[in-house]
Structure 1
Amino acid sequence: MSENSNNKLTDLSLSQLVIEAAQMKQLLVQLKNSNKKIMSLLSNPLIPFFAFIGDGIIKLVPEEDDLTDETLNLDNYEFRRFIGQLRVGHKLLSDKTVSKTGKLLLGIQEQNFKMLTSEYNALQKIVIDSIGQRDLSIVSYKGIDFGNLLQTYIYLDPLLKHLDEIKYSDLKTILGPKLIGTSTALSSIISSFVSPFEEFGRLKIDKLVKIQSRIKEFESKDYFFLDKVRKDIFNNTLPMEQLIVLHSHLCQLNFIGTILPEIFGNVSDLYLRFKLITYLEAVKTLKKLVNQKQWIDDFHRDDINDILNSSIYKLISKRQVRNNIAHYTIADYDYEIFKGNNVLIDIIEFESKDVFSSFWESFEEQFVKVKLVIMSLIY
């Protein structure tokens, strides 16, 4: 490939990143201008997607440029690594084996339970022994789950190395600033990157737009999860750790597939990339489960195999397609295949030899199928 072609691909990669960073900045403005409780509920599940954009931008910043963040107490190297770990939160989990992922999540959940009960006196402990302690918090919008407390721990795990030393009353004073510090750092990176393009008139951010959803459409509810006797969430078909893994994937699928477009409106480029990513990560976990014969019956195994054998999954899980979905630097394609549309649309049309609308219709069907299979497995 010629140097001129490489330069054009670099410019095209940057252009796509600018578009998606601008859409994320618009989304951040909507959050900032909206009801504080709604902002809080939506910020946590957005963290890995903020980080995905932030990581793309950071990769353009030379290593010698200092990105030390004093609020998070991270030096230049640690901060870059932390943002990289945050990008699309379940990637690190779906890259692990089924057993390692489950043990990690169950360990975090058990630690959460210890913190909840860390300051109970003798009488309170007697009462809890009698009536139990709800330990899993799930957030929903119009009855659709889009987040659980465990996800926050997963996202911030690199910053929360000593949870076993934290009492529940101290958790908010520790977790709150970490969340705010992370969101502030990412917002600053994205805003600084987009601002020059605004100044030159190439982009316009609406500084007044708000989220129109009402707070009563959101609900946060606590469930018994670790308490096997009182357990009132999920079925008992799969081990507890696998139930929470699948529910966390379901929350991300719901958040990107339903919450993002309904609440935030036109963020089409973000919507496309993030929907493809959450689908791939969820299917990766299902692929690992399908061989666990002690957990998965023939009915569910057939459903999962149908997903794995679908033309949609085969297309976007191809190495070169998947890598371009997961990264902003275009690789493995000649500049000539790009038509000036969204980069991913051009790649998918090139690989499928068909118009994007045809692919998208089939993809939407597969996306829904993945959600239905997960729901069937856990409820």
Structure 2
Amino acid sequence: MEISQLDRISYSILLQETLELRQVLQSIVNSQDTIDNYDIFIPFLPIMSSVCLGWCDLFTKEGIKIEIPDIEGYSCVRLLKNCRIGLKLYCDQRIGKATKQLKKNSEETYRLLKTDYNIFQRLVVSMLGQCDFGVFTINELPYGNTSQLFLYISDVINFERYKSLGVWETEARKVVFEFSKLLSQFINTIIDSFAKSNMIDKDSQIELVRFNFSYNDYFLIDEKRRNILKGDLPIEIQLQLFNILCQNNFIINVLPLVFQSGGLLYHRSRLQTYLVSVNTIKKIINKFPNEKYQKQLKEIVEVKEIYFDKDSVLRNNIFHYKIEGVDDSIFSIPEKYFYEFIEFNSRVEFNDFMQVISEEIIKINKVIYKMVEFC
């Protein structure tokens, strides 16, 4: 079957993003002595999965059969799809179903935590409590939390099969490590097959000296001792908002500053997390009207609808790596295909458009900080 010009353009954009992703992975590998790959890979998995699924969709359309091995008995394809859903944070599902799953995951985590202790330790926990929620920060900005891992892989590595959190976490770490390694190998194969390997800087490293990375434990499910997410909304709604906040911070801070990603991968990720954020906010304000923040939230939604209506060609491409609904004559420069597509659909110069997106993400973060009372 002959490939259309629009498909060729879509594949060209995907390859550029894959090269950028490969460069990030090279930097991580070169910096493995100074960076905890596990902590970094948790919020990074959705981005990797999104790019890899773009290639899987391409190969399927072209009738090319690819064999992706299972990981420790778990389906790699299912992990890919779950992690991409993780990037979207259930934005295509009803908010009620999504938040119930988040709360269930957190409660199950708390149950597993308590099963690891002896009688004396349980007595101490009954008196002092047990932290059940961890947050990763960079320069005091939250960029990841422990619920994200459960959100991405709990459908694959089921909590209920394990009697303790320690056993489950050991299994999860092993699967995440193998999954990350397999995705890296997949991306290497793509680069070797379709691009020039000399486009990758093999000596690049991540400079962490100027960044303050930290991890803190909190009480979340233990209502008497809760010291995080203490806003007025139901806890599961606050948790979903906090996941959005972490994802936003990872993409607008960690991705460009730590991983030095500033090309198409970074731009698409910003657009993806922006659309996810606004879509979630829209559903929340419809279900939980809040006079205190209603005006700010509605203004955020209104800005989004200026550029992305419900039938937006631009929105659909941002998540699916397939350009449709435009004439191929709008494209002229291969290195600028993505920029040309954005400018044609938004009617705004690319840098100006992305400046609006960045400013809106910052506005979203500010209101979420207030809504969940995180400081």
Work out whether residues 99 and 240 of structure 2, in 8 Å CA contact, stay in contact via their aligned partners in 1: yes
Q: Secondary structure of the residue that 2:154 maps to in structure 1? A: helix
User: 2:94, 2:347 → 1: CA distance?
Assistant: 35
Work out whether residues 72 and 182 of structure 1, in 8 Å CA contact, stay in contact via their aligned partners in 2: no
Amino acid at match of 1:331: E
**Post-superposition shift, 1:88?**
5.3
User: Deviations for 1:168-203, whole angstroms, at most 9, x for unmatched residues?
Assistant: 23123311111012111211111100113444x7x5
The yes-or-no answer on 1:363 pairing with 2:360 is no
Q: Secondary structure of the residue that 1:158 maps to in structure 2? A: coil
User: Deviations for 1:83-116, whole angstroms, at most 9, x for unmatched residues?
Assistant: 2232251425222222211110010011111111
The yes-or-no answer on 1:240 pairing with 2:240 is no
User: 1:285, 1:195 → 2: CA distance?
Assistant: 38
User: 1:130, 1:216 → 2: CA distance?
Assistant: 36
The yes-or-no answer on 1:147 pairing with 2:139 is no
For the structure 1 residues 361 and 173, does the alpha-carbon distance in structure 2 shift closer, same or farther, using more than 3 Å as the test?
closer
Work out whether residues 198 and 205 of structure 1, in 8 Å CA contact, stay in contact via their aligned partners in 2: no
Residue number among 6, 9, 14 corresponding to 2:11 in the alignment? 14
Residues 106-145 of structure 1 correspond to what in structure 2 (within 5 A)?
A: 106-145=103-142
User: 1:68, 1:16 → 2: CA distance?
Assistant: 23
User: Deviations for 1:258-303, whole angstroms, at most 9, x for unmatched residues?
Assistant: 111001114311110000000100111100111234xx42231111
Residue number among 179, 182, 186 corresponding to 2:183 in the alignment? 186
User: 1:275, 1:147 → 2: CA distance?
Assistant: 16
Which moves more between the two structures, 81-90 or 282-291? 81-90
Amino acid at match of 1:73: G
TM-score by length of 1: 0.91
Work out whether residues 234 and 243 of structure 1, in 8 Å CA contact, stay in contact via their aligned partners in 2: yes
Amino acid at match of 1:314: I
What are the ranges of 5 or more consecutive residues in structure 2 without an aligned counterpart?
none
Residue 31 of structure 1: aligned partner: 28
TM-score by length of 2: 0.91
Residue 268 of structure 1: aligned partner: 263
For the structure 1 residues 343 and 164, does the alpha-carbon distance in structure 2 shift closer, same or farther, using more than 3 Å as the test?
same
Work out whether residues 49 and 88 of structure 1, in 8 Å CA contact, stay in contact via their aligned partners in 2: no
User: 2:199, 2:57 → 1: CA distance?
Assistant: 24
Residue number among 334, 345, 348 corresponding to 1:351 in the alignment? 345
User: 1:128, 1:13 → 2: CA distance?
Assistant: 54
**Post-superposition shift, 1:64?**
6.8
Residue 192 of structure 2: aligned partner: 195
Residue 50 of structure 2: aligned partner: 52
User: 2:294, 2:211 → 1: CA distance?
Assistant: 39
Residue 170 of structure 1: aligned partner: 167
User: 1:101, 1:33 → 2: CA distance?
Assistant: 37
User: 2:313, 2:353 → 1: CA distance?
Assistant: 17
Q: Secondary structure of the residue that 2:143 maps to in structure 1? A: strand
RMSD: 2.2
Residue 334 of structure 1: aligned partner: 327
Work out whether residues 139 and 221 of structure 1, in 8 Å CA contact, stay in contact via their aligned partners in 2: yes
For the structure 1 residues 372 and 339, does the alpha-carbon distance in structure 2 shift closer, same or farther, using more than 3 Å as the test?
farther
Identical columns (%): 27
Residues 246-261 of structure 1 correspond to what in structure 2 (within 5 A)?
A: 246-261=241-256
Work out whether residues 137 and 223 of structure 1, in 8 Å CA contact, stay in contact via their aligned partners in 2: yes
For the structure 1 residues 149 and 238, does the alpha-carbon distance in structure 2 shift closer, same or farther, using more than 3 Å as the test?
same
Amino acid at match of 2:30: N
What are the ranges of 5 or more consecutive residues in structure 1 without an aligned counterpart?
none
Amino acid at match of 1:337: I
Q: Secondary structure of the residue that 1:26 maps to in structure 2? A: helix
User: 1:64, 1:158 → 2: CA distance?
Assistant: 28
User: Deviations for 1:198-221, whole angstroms, at most 9, x for unmatched residues?
Assistant: 44x7x5101111100139721011
Residue number among 287, 290, 299 corresponding to 1:297 in the alignment? 290
**Post-superposition shift, 1:66?**
4.4
User: 1:81, 1:168 → 2: CA distance?
Assistant: 23
Residue number among 227, 245, 257 corresponding to 2:222 in the alignment? 227
User: Deviations for 1:128-158, whole angstroms, at most 9, x for unmatched residues?
Assistant: 1100000000000111100001101111123
Residues 73-92 of structure 1 correspond to what in structure 2 (within 5 A)?
A: 73-74=73-74, 78-87=75-84, 89-91=86-88
